Each structure stands twice: as C-alpha cells, then as structure tokens.
C-alpha cells in the first residue's frame, strides 16, 4: 500500500477557439502525442476525465467511456470527475489515490472543456454554476459579480487601490506573453487593466479569466512499475490534499480568508514536512484578481491585505521570491474551466523538467499547485517534486 505516484509525460492544446473539434477530438488532440511517445507495453488501467460544463456546452454526459472509445483505450476503468473549476485537480486527486493504493498501476488523466460554442449569456450562467443556484443566479447574479462584491470589500478593508489590484493580471499576462499554449500572448500594463471595460464594477475585463476551449492530459504511474531511468524522467506527486468549506462567501465568518485553500495547504505541508520556502513555483487559481490576492494570503506567500503590494514589488514574478502562474495561470494562459487544473500539472511538469523555455524558473525542483472551485468552496493542493540531477 501507498506506492509513490509519478507524472511520466504531459500533453496539451493551445487554449482558445477550437471550433472544428468535438469534445472527443479535442481530448484526442491533447493526448495523441503522449500516447505515441509512451508505448502501451504497460497497459493503462484507468482513465479519469475532468470536465465541468459538457452538459451545457455539448448536451453530453458520460465522458469517461466516450473518450476511452475515442482513444482506443481498451480495458480501462473510465470515470469522469466534476468539481466545477477544480475538476482537473480533483481528477488528479482521484487518480493519484487509485495509484497510491495500488488499485491501478498506470493511468491517463485528461481535462477537456468546450466553452466557445456557447453564446455569452449562457457562458455567464455556466460560470456561475459553482454557486448556490437558488440564492445567486436565480436572481441574475454572475460569478464575476460575487467576485466584484468581494473585491470591493477587500479593497475597502485593506486600503488597496485599483492600480495595486491590477498587478495580478499584469504578472499573468507577462508570463503568458511567452507561452505557446496561452490564449493571450500579450502583455498589459496596470493602466491597461484598470481602464479595461467594466464587467462587474470594480472588476474589469482584464481582472477576469478569459473563456476558452482546451484540453490537457497527463500520464500517471505508480513507482512500483518504474525503473531508475523512468523515475529520473518523471515528476513525483509528493502529496495530494483537498478541503472544502462554506460555498456562499457571504456566509463565512471571515469573508476575506480562503479557508479551504488554507486548510488543504496546511495539510499538505504537515504531511510532507515542507514549507513555502521549500517550494520554487506556485501554480494558482487566479481566475479573478481578488481571488489571486486571497490565495497568496491563504498560502502564506503574503501577509493578509498585502498581496497586491507584494505583487507590485515583484515578489511573484518569474525571478521573484515566489513565482506564481508561470505560464500565465487561469488569467493569461486561459481558463477552460474543467480542464484548467490539468494544465497546471502540465506546466509544473515542464518547469520541473526544465522544458519551460522562456518561462523557465531556474533550478525549479518543487512546485505547489492550488486549484479551487467557485470562490474557494473547495480547494486541492498538490506538491510536485523532481530528483536533483546527477
């Protein structure tokens, strides 16, 4: 029991418009290279598909067997995991427990989401599905508006300026400007963000993650099946933790603390004996600027109320103390909701294997991945590690 779990290989599509692809075709697109590179001499035992919105976007459920079919993965257990924006990380969480318990030896996790087929008001509804329907979107309230209420509260409580809040999208887009698979390869200034069109005041278009199609895939295996060479080429998932809490942020005792993120991170650090100073990169769920700030504070990268100031100071840049969203995160790389978490794993893998190109953080050995649903109603924390060379 309790085998170690490794990521052997990753594959992804660019985030954006994939008008011509169905869900199955898009999933195949992300996985085909990785299936080609990794012989099937050790067969796959499982396929875990991460998706959040296929019922709305494509009138389709049952993606497990549908994608196993498309990929000709015979004899796999094929299951689908939905946890709104955290679906991708929830899928990895499930897969890693299947492997560590030795129920499976090798499996594929594929995140896939198609959003661009939907008209704008349907997308706004789809994004809000993580919230308690009867008391939020029944009344017409979007997820952006809930985040806007939180942003105004945050700014008022801590005296944060509009200009300071804009620093998180600036970091994301600086990193995505050199990321090949990003939806937007473009830099923006804090002024650009602060003056962009209003979505839900005070949040602007550039405070909110864009809407895109995308698919990402990773191969996971238990250490039992691997030789020394394979271990060197892979990245270990050292810990996989999750926590959940109050769904409605307005019902929380402290509205400005992301407790699910804090709890899951505390568990991950307790189990591994690691601390934030042992982590080289942080992939975070920065779908909204205010969320990015609250995540950095919950993880302990900033003191409470100081995340935006820290972001302005360069603390979270690729060459800063705690690099975040190294390929642009949800904001810059793009946010295909249910697939987004799997992208984070691909990106952390590329960093730890020194395949991150212009975005490489030198000597990155450990990565922390924070993925959440809604406004931190649930959070998944994964810590990844690679062996030193030599």
Given the rule CB under 8 A, which residues bind other proteins? 119-122, 124-125, 128, 132, 134-142, 144-146, 148-150, 152-153, 156, 197-203, 248, 250-251, 255
Do the bridges between strand 235-244 and strand 5-12 make them parallel or antiparallel, or are there none, so unpaired?
Answer: antiparallel
CB of 258 to other proteins, least distance (A): 17
Task: Yes or no: say if 84 and 340 are a contact pair by the CB < 8 Å rule.
Answer: no
Is 363 in contact with 280 (CB distance < 8 Å)? yes
H helix runs in 101-189, sequence order = 120-127, 143-158, 162-165, 167-176
Pairing of strands 214-222, 5-12: antiparallel
Taking the least distance from each CB to other proteins, the nearer of 124 and 215 is 124
Task: Kindly state the smallest distance separating residue 256's Cβ from other proteins, in Å.
Answer: 11
Cβ-based nearer residue to other proteins, 57 or 344: 57
CB distance 328 to 173 below 8 Å = yes
Task: Give me the sheet containing 5-12, strands edge to edge.
Answer: 77-81, 46-50, 106-113, 214-222, 5-12, 235-244, 378-385, 366-373, 281-283
CA distance 356 to 362: 10
Cβ proximity to other proteins: between 254 and 277 the closer is 254
| CB of 153 or CB of 276, closer to other proteins | 153
| Complex with other proteins: residue 203 or 369, whichever CB lies closer | 203
In the bound complex, what is the minimum distance in angstroms from residue 124's beta carbon to other proteins?
5
Least gap, CB of 133 to other proteins (angstroms):
8
- Neighbouring C-alpha atoms within 13 Å toward the C-beta of 199: 25
Pairing of strands 77-81, 46-50: parallel
Shortest distance (Å) from residue 137 CB to other proteins: 5
Minimum separation from the CB atom of position 98 to other proteins (A): 32
* Closer Cβ to other proteins, 197 or 277, answer by number: 197
Nearer to other proteins, 119 or 227 (CB): 119
CA angle 280, 175, 206 (to 5 degrees): 125
Six token digits for residue 8: 């052997």
Supply the minimum distance, in Å, between the C-beta of residue 269 and other proteins: 28
Q: Tell the smallest beta-carbon distance from residue 313 to other proteins (Å).
A: 27
Q: Which of 79/141 has CB closer to other proteins? A: 141
Cα dihedral 125→81→323→310 (10° resolution):
40
d(CA 288, CA 286): 5
What backbone phi and psi angles, to 5 degrees, belong to 350? -60, -40
């Amino acid at each position: 029991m309790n085998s170690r779990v490794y990521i052997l290989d990753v594959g992804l599509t660019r985030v954006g418009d994939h008008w011509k692809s169905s869900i199955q075709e898009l999933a195949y697109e992300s996985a085909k290279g990785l299936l080609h590179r990794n012989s099937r001499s050790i067969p796959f035992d499982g396929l875990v598909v991460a998706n959040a919105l296929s019922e709305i976007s494509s009138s389709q459920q049952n993606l497990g067997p549908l994608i196993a079919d498309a990929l000709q993965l015979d004899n796999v257990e094929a299951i689908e995991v939905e946890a709104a924006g955290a679906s991708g990380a929830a899928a990895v969480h499930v897969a890693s427990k299947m492997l560590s318990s030795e129920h499976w030896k090798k499996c594929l996790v594929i995140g896939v989401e198609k959003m661009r087929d939907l008209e704008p008001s349907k997308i706004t509804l789809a994004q809000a599905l993580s919230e308690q329907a009867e008391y939020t979107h029944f009344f017409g309230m979007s997820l952006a508006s809930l985040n806007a209420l939180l942003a105004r509260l945050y700014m008022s409580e801590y005296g944060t300026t509009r200009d300071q809040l804009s620093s998180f999208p600036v970091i994301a887009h600086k990193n995505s400007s050199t990321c090949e698979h990003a939806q937007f390869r473009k830099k923006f200034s804090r002024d650009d963000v602060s003056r962009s069109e209003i979505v839900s005041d005070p949040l602007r278009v550039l405070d909110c993650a864009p809407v895109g199609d995308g698919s990402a895939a990773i191969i996971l295996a238990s250490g039992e099946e691997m030789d020394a060479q394979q271990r060197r080429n892979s990245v270990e998932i050292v810990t996989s933790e999750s926590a959940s809490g109050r769904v409605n942020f307005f019902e929380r005792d402290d509205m400005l603390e992301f407790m699910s993120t804090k709890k899951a991170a505390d568990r991950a650090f307790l189990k591994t004996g690691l601390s934030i100073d042992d982590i080289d990169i942080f992939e975070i769920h920065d779908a909204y600027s205010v969320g990015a700030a609250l995540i950095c504070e919950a993880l302990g990268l900033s003191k409470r109320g100081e995340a935006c100031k820290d972001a302005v100071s360069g603390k979270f840049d690729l060459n800063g103390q705690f690099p975040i969203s190294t390929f642009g995160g949800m904001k810059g790389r793009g946010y295909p909701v249910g697939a987004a978490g799997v992208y984070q794993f691909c990106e952390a893998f590329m960093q730890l294997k020194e395949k991150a190109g212009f975005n490489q953080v030198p000597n990155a050995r450990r990565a922390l991945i924070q993925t959440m649903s809604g406004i931190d109603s649930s959070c998944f924390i994964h810590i990844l590690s690679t062996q030193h060379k030599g």
